[in-house]
Structure 1
């Protein structure tokens, strides 16, 4: 078609003086998402991001010195970039980069808890360790980024409910239920079910990221508090093993759980439009109250274009605005769904502690091993 146009102009030899007066001027390239950036910033100023997964604790172990308040080029997340991206709450993962079982996982998790507290104490103007939804609100009003501890891996419990209570006393709020003898391919065992009940009693949220379908389905059915999936997108769009099939997404939505879509190229695709496609799909299948965001920054993964670090959230929200997401549902996505999950866990725990004492069950008693 372009060649045909050239032939016509060459044959007729239309000059600049012969151009018709009503010919439209050439149009500049249209960037629809960029046009929505001011609206995105305004929305995020009122409803900031609660980011469901950050690998920052482990990333900081490899830096001899860091200052998160001034900024760190060696990592994806620091206070200036979180403020630019309107991140007001961040779940700090206590996962381990390699497979460690038993007491090794417990010790490594405790070491990361200790490191997190040291980092937060060193940045009092930018960060604040929180335990409850109310404390997140207070931290935001004081201009701090709220740090929520978790998820940690279930191996850190070393098959002990007592260790679960110790980790909770140290601030743990999210535990990933996968990769143990009591939360595996065959689903939850009797001890696994007792772990979920004790988590409900304490107010520790269950994370089913990476869990087999049998375990994930049983956790969703059993838990009295919202179940999180901190790093899963839609398997219908991208058949990654960590992504959720539509039937499980629907069950999670019915149970008022939360699927936090990760910003990783491997799970969602290489572009910001791919991320938006997954968010659209989860919202459609599970409902707007079931969708959230997980940056997965500083986790050693590749991120989609235009989402390289924690400052880039406004660009994603601008894309969703362009697609017609109502502002009320964007507020759920960025902030309110996480707040609801934490508030529900807090309320359920207070009620459960009045009815039920701490469980003294041991795996040997329930599993006969």
Structure 2
């Protein structure tokens, strides 16, 4: 009888646990069955990049109800898709989503490539996403390492090299324990373990199916893995935004396609820098919100000072008058939705003063 190697035991124990405790998610097939729709796997993986399951779930359900196939998504307008994505953040993902859907339809007859190499040729599909789709949708053996898997593997093997340098060791260890069969289930089981048991803080080691094989359990502090390099301070920037209202319509612009919040509807704003240009879009009687709207992007934080006016005139340059009562339909990104709420609150106080 062949002897089971430790790495094989890890996969066996984890898959047995997954068969009983797998999370039920809209995009996931039941344990033991590969997902039959690569479109849903791809869409979920793009939405889950730097986003929690709780945040992405409602967007996934709305997207698949509105665009149930890659062909229907490829036919969406840029404006409709960006509006539907509003609030989910990291808007380059939305632009790549549409570009990828169109390429799959145009160049691949509506069928996603079934290999990592083929998937990597698609817009917005990097190494992790390609591996996840190959394993989960097509049953290919692929090494899938997201933040949850990274944490689980670093603890299993007590990898003490600080990130990001330690990632090559983590990937090599993940490769060793990835089985040839049920690679998609194994990847999702690792994700579930990291999300529900082997969490960043206070891991529940007592109920972990891999406790017996985990090197970090033998240390005084399993939560110390993975070891992270000290964070650099996030730069702080300032900006100005303008709410221009006429006959219960507000002036909205569309941001340039490239750059932060590219292609999104927005309120007019200045540059975002240490010393932004405060020149307003038009000459008017401006009122200023006392407290700036604070927002944190990946690489910097922003304090946006909002100004508002009943202008009665249209600014120069492209834009559109949008009904204030239908502002929820404009698809404003979170920063500008919060800026709009701040203005509307201030206006209500002003009108009742």
TM-score by length of 2: 0.25
